[in-house]
Amino acid sequence: MPEINPSPASVKKILPLILATAIFMQMLDSTILNTSLPSIAKDLRESPLNMQNAIISYVLTLAVFMPASGFLADRFGTKKVFIFSLVLFSIGSLLCAISQNLTHLVISRVIQGVGGSLMTPVGKLALIKTFDKNELLKAMNFAIIPALIGPVLGPLVGGYMVDYLSWHWIFLINIPIGILGIILGVKFMPDYKTGDVDFDLKGFFIFAAASLLLSVSLELFGNIQNTTPVLLVFIFGFLFLYYYYKHAKREENPIFPLNLFQVRTFRVGILGNLATRLGISSVPLLLPLMIQIAYKQSAVTSGWIIAPMALTAIFGKSSVIKILNRYGYRKTLMINTFIIGTLICLLSIPDIHTSLYWFVPIIAVLGFFNSIQFTSMNTISIADLRNFQTSSGNSLVSVNQQLAIGFGIAFGLIVLKLFESTDLINGEIHNAFRYTFLTVGILTILSGFVFRRLHISDGKNMKSEE
């Protein structure tokens, strides 16, 4: 039977939806488990503390395999690798749902993690290669909305599923979404491949080790009392990064070429992502934690308080293109980061007697500006990459974002613990959260100066029709 090739117009119409499906599954899965761990632990007859392994195993698998996503896509084609990743993620989700003990669950999460590590980077690579630079902003803007709403909806959806259905459904929900993605991928996913590509196996192992060590340390920072061994793991992670740098200088075809960092917009995008996410990534963790611990409210209540962030993020996407076209990337990213930092600082104002509803307008406005931030940072990072740099550059952006989210969560928890142990809080845990919001908010404001290194004209080739 002859293969029916869809028209370029239909591919461009459906491809952002395919990527959105993959991102939504991955982001939802990364956050939905948190509220469900006690219920799963009870059912599997495990200690709730041991259940953290189910989260860590997934994060570490992402850290190890994500660096290889660009090479695999170039070698085997974006279509085959993307569909394979969706199949693997869906099978992993099914295995998680039918797990009989913690060991089964951890192995199933690893299978999920391998699929998740390829799914988003390869889908995004296909998008970058399909759309012209002046069309890419609009396509990417649509596709990354799930990255904004997934972390917000995850705890809420997870809480309701555990309360009214069972914990198995937090994994089973992935299967129909995965099947939809596979069907659309088979029909509409373009198949880009480079063919014979040398794989830098040594570089992969060095970089994967660095990524793994950093991820381990970031996952453990907030969960143990003695931070000295974790700090050593963290330092070893950076030593492996330096080892990779020395390796890449000697290697003819390294997995991540150093010439990527000669592209100013890529360099600023990577650094800006790391710096600004210190504050942005900590809010979806700290605010629900404060509502549950200090205000003694349920997980579902805390989920509803931050839910407006998802709604306004969707509204924000319709304004991003107009704002970037009018003000450019440099001014937009600087001012937007200052606004986000100020809004995080505002979360420190209410005291323990203030109504919880005080937080709702701040969170709603924050969702709007987060939407602008993520679209702008994602697109400026790849704005000036050449065709031969796209695969490796896109993989490195994905790894960087994964680590940046981990840095943000770990940083928020470390600052909170430091304030908890000081006399400043007068024995009130709520004050520790207030000082933490103030600290991460000020640092987010300062991180906006990273974007001063952009030129006024940077990103002009990304200008899109409104």
Please name which of 424, 284, 438 lies closest in space to residue 347, comparing C-alpha atoms: 438
Cβ atoms 373, 276 nearer than 8 A: yes
pLDDT of residue 49: 60
Bigger pLDDT: 100 vs 422:
100
**How far apart, in Å, do the first and last CA atoms of the chain sit?**
41
**CA–CA dist 324, 304 (Å, integer):** 31
Q: What is the pLDDT of residues 298-340, one digit of tens each?
A: 767 777 887 788 788 877 777 888 888 888 889 999 999 999 9
Give per-residue pLDDT as tens, 364-422: 899 889 888 988 888 888 888 887 778 888 888 888 888 888 788 778 888 888 887 77
- C-alpha 402/C-alpha 408 separation (Å) is 10
Rounded CA-CA distance 373/316 in Å is: 10
- In sequence order, which ranges of 347-454 are alpha helices (DSSP H)? 359-382, 390-420, 429-447
Neighbour-count burial for 139-176, b at 16+ CB within 10 Å, e otherwise: bbbbbbbbbbbbbbbbbbbbbebbeeeebbbbbbbbbe
Q: Which two tokens stand for residue 96?
A: 């998680």
- Of 225, 227, 207, 208, residue with least CA distance to 217: 227
Rounded to an integer, what distance in angstroms lies between the CA atom of residue 378 and that of residue 41? 37
Mean pLDDT along residues 18-31: 78
* Mean pLDDT value across residues 116-139: 83
Q: In terms of Cα–Cα distance, which of 89, 150, 158, 157 is closest to 123?
A: 89
Among left, alpha and beta (phi > 0; psi -120 to 50; other), residue 350 is: beta
**Residue range 335-362, pLDDT digits in tens:** 999 999 999 999 888 777 777 888 889 9
pLDDT digits (tens, 9 = 90+) for 75-94: 888 889 999 999 999 999 99
Are 214 and 193 in contact by the 8 Å Cβ rule? The answer is no
Q: What is the DSSP string of 196-222?
A: S----HHHHHHHHHHHHHHHHHHHHHT
Q: Is the pTM of this model over 0.85?
A: no
Q: Find the Cα–Cα–Cα–Cα dihedral 26, 30, 31, 33, rounded to 10°.
A: 120
Flag whether pLDDT at 162 surpasses 90.
no
